[in-house]
Structure 1
Amino acid sequence: MRTIELGRTGVQVSSLALGAMQMGNATDEKDSIRILDHYREVGGSFIDTADCYEWWAVPGSRGGHSEELLGRWLTGRRDEIFLATKGSAVPKLDPALWADDGTPNWPLARRTFAGAGADSLRHALDGSLKRLGTDHVDLYYVHVDDRATPLAETLETLAGFVRAGKVRFVGWSNVRTWRLERIRGLCERNGWPLPVAVQQQHSYLRPKPSADSASIVDHEQLDYLREHRDQTLVAYSPILKGIYDDERKRDGHWAMESYAGTDSDARLAAAAEVADEVGVTPNQLVLAWLMHQTPRTVPLIGPRTPEQFEDSLPALDVRLSREQLDRLDAAGA
């Protein structure tokens, strides 16, 4: 496992990060431990979770399952792991959050997220530390950008976490580029720690022109991050639920809603062609492509099964030529 510098911190993190969102629910403890142990065996150390994972899986839940499982696994290993978690995205408890069949009510959840106010973040971080069984996390994200709370309040609170030694570095997720620039200005003026990681949905496919999401990287955000190397892009959903390997899966899949179109068709064909040349699957090719990118990008994989995790590992050994990278970049309508 290669490493890259996180922002300009001088700290090296694994080039492939492991997301623990499903651990403790969709992925049971036995399989979660298998994945975590194997990730360490191949040299991985950058593990990502959040306090809200996975509230939606169990009616009446407040989340925390992933953090609790990681807390058990981390015993005796804490110093070996660069540990990231997030706060702000646990919704207000309400019976209406789940339908009678257990289906989560996402529109209601998004209207009632805890947000990034000072008190909310303090309670969220303390809860995360307790579940994780540690006195600090290496990276703490604002999980969902909160426009209802003054940025200064959020940033000052995060700065307090760093001063107290509860957090080493801060990050931001699901955020527009203009907000990143405003955050940068406030941090510079007030001496607050700048977010060193920006966690966004990012893949080889490009969002279609009609897509409008604060969570998906667009051309402007890529340009911004190329100009600001002190912030590293952490790319979640890098293989879009595995659609690159399965043509049938793309048809009507919700993961394709922001991408489907002629541009994506052309890029899917290019990915398949180059994957065949280097002897990997298209999913593996996309992970490798992301690790070759500027701005520096850390793909964040979230395998549900040990087999899915193992399927991602060949990407670590792929070396793409300049000609192949140029061809992949040029593909599209």
Structure 2
Amino acid sequence: MQTMTLGGSGEQVSQVALGCMQMGTRQDEATSFALLDRYTERGGNFLDTANCYMWWHRRGIGGGQSEELLGRWLVRRGRRDDVFLATKGSGMVTDPSAAFTEDEEPDWNAAGRLFEGAGGETLHRAIDGSLQRLGTDYVDLYYVHVDDRTTPLEETLEALDDIVRAGKARFIGWSNVRTWRLERIRQLCDRHGWQSPVAVQQRHTYLRPRIERDQASNVDGEQLDYLAEHDDLTLVAYSPIVQGVYDVADKREGPGLIDLYRGPDTDARLAAVDRVASKVGATGSQVVLAWLLAQRDPRVIPLIGPRTLEQFDELMAALDLRLEGPVLAELDTAGA
């Protein structure tokens, strides 16, 4: 596992981050500990969680299970100083029980109206809760999980700066955010001398999102161009393998994340992945991860969330896959 500098932090983090969202809910403790052990044994150090993970697993659990499990792992393994620990606030819902349908499925439309937001008091309360669950005095990176456009940015940024000055977080980041908002955030931080973000966590993969399904969470061409010009911000790419669509043909039919990408351009891009995977003797997901790792303008840290050790080992094989110039060109030029 190689490392790279995270934005303007000066810190070295592993080139692949481990998403811990499902740990403590869909993944039992033994499996979660085994994944964390395997990842750190391979040289990984960048762990990602959030205070809301995973209230939607079932009604009544309320969230926080991932942080609690990570806290137990850190204590039992004594690894706090060996990892770069990231968590998030603002994405918790104020009443998780109200964000389920009558069929006991999460209601994401309702959840979108119930986010706790990024007000100053909320963020201070959220970071304290996260630190308690994680069993640590500080996190290395604290994200605004869901960009809150109802709270003045000045209030959010001042609170985040206070959190850093208090030693509760070393750096800050933003997630699910528009490019113009990133620029406004940077301008305010520069004007007031506040801590500026070093990372932006967005949904990003080899496929290009459909314009009509545009979301603040998706990286588009403008955001890639912006990040290429501002190397003090590193792109952390979540959902990089799009729920396995690069390897499982049935998943390309949906429903799921593929619906954000479906169209002629996507068909051409998927066909290119299939061709390259056949040429290099790899899976489609490995090809896509290797492609992301090969990007330089901007550089990308894929955030993976394997369910099993077997899935983890398969994805990690992408670290040994070197895509040469002609192969990269074939992938880059596929589609519209």
State the TM-score, normalized to the length of structure 1.
0.98
Report the CA distance shift for 1:200/1:98 in structure 2 as closer, same or farther (over 3 A). Answer: same
Q: Which residue of 1 aligns with 2:56?
A: 56
Q: Distance in 1 between matches of 2:19 and 2:189?
A: 28
Q: Which residue of 2 aligns with 1:316?
A: 319
Alignment of 1:98-177 (within 5 A): 98-177=100-179
Q: Distance in 1 between matches of 2:249 and 2:230?
A: 36
Corresponding letter in the other structure for 1:273: R
Alignment of 1:20-39 (within 5 A): 20-39=20-39
Q: Which residue of 1 aligns with 2:91?
A: 89
Among 306, 312, 328, which residue is 2:331 paired with?
A: 328
Q: Distance in 2 between matches of 1:96 and 1:161?
A: 30
Deviating above 6 A after TM superposition, structure 1's stretches of 4 or more consecutive aligned residues are none
Q: Which residue of 1 aligns with 2:255?
A: 253
- Contact kept in structure 2, 1:60 and 1:93, CA below 8 Å: no
Alignment of 1:158-237 (within 5 A): 158-237=160-239
Measured after TM superposition, the shift of residue 107 of structure 1 is 1.2
- Contact kept in structure 1, 2:90 and 2:123, CA below 8 Å: yes
Q: Which residue of 1 aligns with 2:243?
A: 241
Q: Which residue of 2 aligns with 1:291?
A: 293
Q: Is residue 6 of structure 1 aligned with residue 6 of structure 2?
A: yes
Q: Which runs of 5+ in 1 are unaligned?
A: none
Measured after TM superposition, the shift of residue 208 of structure 1 is 1.6
User: Percentage identity across aligned positions?
Assistant: 61
Q: Secondary structure at the match of 2:243?
A: helix
Aligned-residue CA RMSD in angstroms?
1.0
Q: Which residue of 2 aligns with 1:15?
A: 15
Q: Which residue of 2 aligns with 1:41?
A: 41
Moved more, 131-140 or 5-14: 5-14
Measured after TM superposition, the shift of residue 47 of structure 1 is 0.4
Measured after TM superposition, the shift of residue 321 of structure 1 is 1.1
Q: Distance in 2 between matches of 1:236 and 1:168?
A: 22
Q: What CA deviation, in whole Å up to 9, does each residue of 1:225-272 have, x standing for no partner?
A: 001000000000000001000111111231111101110111111111
Q: What CA deviation, in whole Å up to 9, does each residue of 1:64-121 have, x standing for no partner?
A: 0000000000111100000000000111116432234321121111101000000110
Corresponding letter in the other structure for 2:301: V
Measured after TM superposition, the shift of residue 26 of structure 1 is 0.6
